[in-house]
Every structure is written in C-alpha cells, then in structure tokens.
Amino acid sequence: MHTVAPLDNVATFRLLVSRLLTRRAHLPGIGVFFGPSGFGKTQSAVYGANECGAHYLELGRLWTTKKFLEHLARLVGAPARGTTADLHQSVIEALAAAPTLLIIDEADHAVARGYDEAIRDIHNKTGVPIVLIGEELLPQAMRRNERLHNRVLAWVAAQPATADDAAVLAKLYVTDTCGVTITRDLTDLIAARAGGRVRRICVGVDAVREWAEAEGLSAVDAAAWGDRPLWDAAPSKVRRI
C-alpha cells in the first residue's frame, strides 16, 4: 500500500484501536470513527490496519447482506459460498478461531442497506473488536438499531486537518519524492483554504508541485504562488459548443 502520512487523525484512530484492543472483558468492543468526507478517515484506517494486522473492508454502496458476507468471508479466510446463513456462520467460525480486529469502512452503507445487524451479531458471537468508519451522520443513523448502538464503546470524531498536517503532507508527497520545497507560509495558506479536508490539501500541494516543476523551481512560497487557484472550487459553467 502507499505511504500514509502520520497526521493528527492517524494518531486519534490509533488511540481508538488501542482502547478497543485493551478493553476489559465485560465491555463491548465496537468503535465508531466518523466525520465529513475528505477528513482522512480512510487513510487513518489503512494505517491502523497495517500497524496491527487488522482485517480492512470497504463496503460497496449497493451491497446486500450476502454480498457483504461473501467479501468478509474471503477476507478472513472462510469459505465464500452457500446461503447467507452459511456465509454468516463461516465468518463467525473463522473470526472466533483467529480473533482479529475488523475495520469496516463506508459503514453508512451497512446501516442504509440493513445489514448492520449482521455486523452486531458477528461481534456478539466472536468478541472481535470492530471499528465502523463513516460520514458525519453515522452516529445518528445507528440510533435506528438500538442493539448495535448499545454495543459501541467509543464514538470518535475525525478532526479537520491542521496547518501542521498540511506541512507533513507537502513534505511527504512533494519535497521527499520530487525535491520541491513548499514553504510553511504556503502550506498554511493551503490548509486555511482546504477547510480541514486532507484530500483537498493533497490536491493543492500537488498543484504547487506541478507548477514548480514546469517553472524549474526548487522551492515555492506564498508570494511566488500568488493568487493562482489551488483547485477548482466549483464546476465550470456549461459551455456552449
């Protein structure tokens, strides 16, 4: 997998995982990591999965319960065939035999499509800790399933990317790989305009890299960048052709 920057949300996610892994036996083991799109939740999950050898699964928007269980069965090394009930049992047996942290990304889809109950049952029967990752309104959506909601040990909100995060991203993805230095005043500007979204910061620093390489520059500061756009803030108007 590609390198993941050590951002603030990565550290926050690690603390959530640690809390689940070290919880006392009588406590539930589901954690929820939620926040707006672009806040770096998936990058945090990838880092966490790599660090502790967790199973990581990103859900599809149109998945059914059976499709979810088929993908999960393959992930945990269980037979991915049979009825929905067969798949469910196979997953439970595989995870009970080899308990491993399970990270489920885009968990909003499980709630919307009604297979969040299958996730709850897997947790109940195996005891494996599970992290559900989703959008800002995931906690509210989960209230519709009280049995799942009651098994959440910790609700953790992803935080907006900081100016320090922007400096880390610029160094990792531009300076260290391409030799172009983006000065702190410019990364601060990018962070301020990005509205806390890691993805947008990445697009912004790459726009600076592309321009610097075209101009033959080894360093770019805010004055040199000027008022050039970092990204398209809105779709262009409809063209008349």
Report the CATH number at residue 173.
1.10.8
- Residue 1 pLDDT level (bands cut at 50, 70, 90): very low
pLDDT at 122: 97
Q: What is the rounded radius of gyration, in angstroms, for the C-alpha atoms of the chain? A: 21
pLDDT at 189: 97
What confidence tens digit (pLDDT) does each residue in 150-169 have? 999 999 999 999 999 999 99
239 within a domain of the structure (yes/no): no
Q: Is the pLDDT of residue 2 over 60?
A: no
Of 144, 135, 162, 7, nearest to 61 (Cα)? 135
57 and 76 together in one domain: yes
170 and 137 together in one domain: no
68 and 109 together in one domain: yes
45 and 114 together in one domain: yes
> CA 183 to CA 117: how far, in whole Å?
49
63 and 135 together in one domain: yes
Measured between alpha carbons, how far is residue 121 from residues 94, 194, 221, 228 in Å?
Answer: 14, 40, 54, 52
112 and 193 together in one domain: no
Report the CATH number at residue 137.
3.40.50.300
Distance of CA 186 to the CA centre of its chain: 26
Domain that includes residue 152, residue range: 8-157
> CA 44 to CA 6: how far, in whole Å?
9
232 within a domain of the structure (yes/no): no
191 and 146 together in one domain: no
72 within a domain of the structure (yes/no): yes
Placement of tokens 């990317």 in the chain: 161
204 and 113 together in one domain: no
- Residue 49 pLDDT level (bands cut at 50, 70, 90): confident
126 and 201 together in one domain: no
Number of structural domains (the chain) is 2
Which residue, of 157, 173, 199, is where some domain finishes? 157
Lowest mean pLDDT among 4-18, 23-37, 108-122, 174-188: 4-18
Distance of CA 205 to the CA centre of its chain: 20
Lowest mean pLDDT among 30-34, 40-44, 81-85, 165-169: 40-44
> CA 86 to CA 78: how far, in whole Å?
11
> CA 62 to CA 68: how far, in whole Å?
10
Which residue, of 123, 157, 191, is where some domain finishes? 157
Which residue type occupies 65? T
> CA 77 to CA 69: how far, in whole Å?
12
pTM of the model: 0.88
Of 146, 232, 221, nearest to 182 (Cα)? 221
Residue 130 is classified by DSSP as: E
Q: Is the pLDDT of residue 61 over 80?
A: yes
236 within a domain of the structure (yes/no): no
- To the nearest 10 degrees (0 to 180), the angle between helices 65-76 and 116-126 is 40
188 within a domain of the structure (yes/no): yes
20 and 126 together in one domain: yes
Which residue, of 140, 157, 174, is where some domain finishes? 157
135 and 173 together in one domain: no
Task: Count other C-beta atoms under 10 Å from residue 39's C-beta.
Answer: 25
Task: Count other C-beta atoms under 10 Å from residue 116's C-beta.
Answer: 25
- Residue 8 pLDDT level (bands cut at 50, 70, 90): confident
230 within a domain of the structure (yes/no): no
> CA 183 to CA 167: how far, in whole Å?
8
Average pLDDT, the chain: 93
52 within a domain of the structure (yes/no): yes
111 within a domain of the structure (yes/no): yes
Q: Is the pLDDT of residue 30 over 50?
A: yes
Which residue type occupies 144? R
For residue 181, the surrounding DSSP H or E stretch is strand 181-182
Q: Are 117 and 18 in contact (CB under 8 A)?
A: no
Q: What is the DSSP code string of 117-178?
A: HHHHHHHHHH---EEEEE-TTHHHHHTT-HHHHTTEEEEEEPPPP-HHHHHHHHIIIIIHHH
19 and 77 together in one domain: yes
